[in-house]
Structure 1
Amino acid sequence: MNLSLRQMRAFAALASMRNFTRAAEHCCITQSAFSALILNLERDLNAKLFSRNTRNVELTAEGEVFLNIVNHLMPETERALSEMQDHVSRRKGRVAIAALPTIFSALLPDIIATFINKYPGIELIVEDVSNTSCLELVRLRKVDFALCASAEPGADLIIEKLASDTFYFVCQSTHPLANRKRLAIIELLPHPIIVFETASSIRQHLDASVYPKQWIKVLQVNNLATAAGLVGAGIGPTIVPLLGLCQFDLNILRAIPVTLPINERDICLLRRKDATESIAAQEFIRLLRARLAREVSLLASRHPGS
């Protein structure tokens, strides 16, 4: 049989009020429709639940048993339906996101703030990780989607370009190239720079841009904050994407646009092909598609020459 919440509510109302007219009014339906509900329920159960006469409505022994069942089942059913309605209306839910640290720090704070303000009941989980880890977390279903640099995702993943950024040479004002308005790759290669570890999306993009040549290394570091400290201390210059400039004190350092053979770094949305995102995740993705490219353009407008 298919027991509906409507039938349970009608049964509970009649068991409580012992009157068809009042129970029908309580359920906001006509008495004939209410009587049909009870009759169909008894037929489906193959049991008489109420003893009726012209004056009284009483529960039968089977009705007493069913009342105990309904008293346990109905609150759980109502709770489950309410929970589902909360998810569908985006009052509750969970969105897990992986992204490159540069994307998180430079682009996502305002987007996340907008999302949280609109959907305060939805839990956000963030993973600021490397490009390789972004792919792995999506592939293992640890996150709903990732924001990363362009990659070869494989047959099981979908990659969608949302925006792109370009690169800057960051140095002290005393560096020989500090007064240039824009730099070409041939001008940069003779100068030692601070590079990033080989798994970094920044390093991979820069290495691919000069292959088969190589950069002259001052030091190799793992993250932008370290590079910023070293450049600030005069250890050497570095090359970073637009999204990484917020780590550097540009009041005392110079950031000069660079023209590379592969000039733009794509910023992409990465998802599983076989995944159906939750309504909450779909809403966050909609916000990314609407806002991400605009956020990059706004950031670029603060750095003339980009």
Structure 2
Amino acid sequence: MNLSVKHLRAFVALAEQRNFTRAAQACHLSQSAFSTLIHTLEEQAGSRLFERTTRHVELSADGRRFEEVARRLLADFEAALADLRDHALRRKGRVSIAALPSLAAGDLPPLLAAFRARYPGIEIALFDLLADGCIDLVRRARADFALAPAPAQAADLRVEPLLRERFHLVCPAGHALAARRSVTPQALAGHPFIHLSRTSSVRQHLDAALHPERLEGVMEVEQLATVAGLVAAGLGITAVPTLALFQFRREGLVVRPLQIPGLSRDICLIRLKERGDTAAAAALIEDLRAHYGDGRAGAGTGPGPRLKPRQPRQPR
């Protein structure tokens, strides 16, 4: 069979109007074109769907059986088409993001809130994971894109640099390094250091930039909030990138730029090469590009003034 939606619409119009002229007008067709559609439908169905007289057009027994199916098919088609339009116009949809915890808890919440206000029909899913976990979700198509450093093996991925972060020393206000305007690698030697775990991109970037030198690590933890608490308690100093500084905005801590050659972290927009962007994902990507248009991380990049006390934002 080679039938189309036009045939179904013509059938339903004639079933309602019971008149070829009025039905053709309802379909915005000439009467001859309309009659051809009905004839083709009956021919391919192998059944007479309408009983015709000089005065009346009525559904046949087969026509009455087909009417319910035809109306349901048209309704399903129109609903599917409306759903596609809603997605294309960003009235509906879903976008799934995998992001580093420092981004997921810091920069992203206000961006996502603004996005949600503009597109209330789009559902947002956020996965806050370390870099390897973010890339894994993209590769398994569970996330539309990731916000993370580029992996070493990226042949199957589209990697778009979004911003570059500097690293900063965080120490107690009374620490010897707090008086410096900036801190060199040599200045870190001999000071107890609070590390993030070796699986974190922060730790990996720091170790790579300092190699072969090693810091005097006294503790290694998983969460930035824990690092902040340990540093505030005077157990050591630490180094974090710009987007993580919001975790350290507390009384008694100071921030100083780290002057270590090669120590920066590129946050990239990472997607599968073989997968196109949905309309919802494209809209959020537009917002991210606009937000990070200069390619630099936001607050906290100055010469290291003491951070004003502020209630820290908690991860979702």
TM-score by length of 1: 0.92
Q: Number of residue pairs matched?
A: 305
Matching residue of 1:24:
24
Matching residue of 1:249:
249
CA distance in 1, matches of 2:303, 2:295: 16
Residue 117 of structure 1: CA displacement?
Answer: 1.9
Give per-residue Cα distances to partners, 1:134-184, cap 9 Å, x unaligned: 111111222111000233133222322111110111111110010111111
2:130/2:201 contact within 8 Å kept: yes
Percent identity among equivalent residues?
44
2:96/2:126 contact within 8 Å kept: yes
CA distance in 1, matches of 2:194, 2:96: 33
CA distance in 1, matches of 2:20, 2:300: 71
**Pairing 1:286-301 to 2, within 5 Å after superposition:** 286-294=286-294, 296-300=296-300
Letter in 2 for 1:12: V
2:102/2:243 contact within 8 Å kept: yes
CA distance in 2, matches of 1:34, 1:204: 71
2:181/2:303 contact within 8 Å kept: no
Letter in 2 for 1:261: P
Q: 1:146 to 1:118 in 2, by over 3 A?
A: same
Matching residue of 2:104:
104
Matching residue of 1:234:
234
**Pairing 1:1-306 to 2, within 5 Å after superposition:** 1-294=1-294, 296-300=296-300, 303-304=302-303
1:135/1:153 contact within 8 Å kept: no
CA distance in 1, matches of 2:126, 2:174: 39
Residue 71 of structure 1: CA displacement?
Answer: 3.0
CA distance in 2, matches of 1:33, 1:161: 56
Residue 16 of structure 1: CA displacement?
Answer: 2.0
- Gaps of at least 5 residues in structure 1 are none
Residue 23 of structure 1: CA displacement?
Answer: 2.2
2:254/2:304 contact within 8 Å kept: no
TM-score by length of 2: 0.89
Residue 251 of structure 1: CA displacement?
Answer: 4.1
- Gaps of at least 5 residues in structure 2 are 306-316
- When structure 1 is superposed on structure 2, of 207-216 and 6-15 the one drifting more is 6-15
Residue 218 of structure 1: CA displacement?
Answer: 2.1
Residue 293 of structure 1: CA displacement?
Answer: 4.1
CA distance in 2, matches of 1:222, 1:55: 84
Q: 1:142 to 1:93 in 2, by over 3 A?
A: same
Secondary structure of the structure 2 residue equivalent to 1:154: coil
1:148/1:270 contact within 8 Å kept: yes
CA distance in 1, matches of 2:114, 2:153: 29
Residue 30 of structure 1: CA displacement?
Answer: 4.1
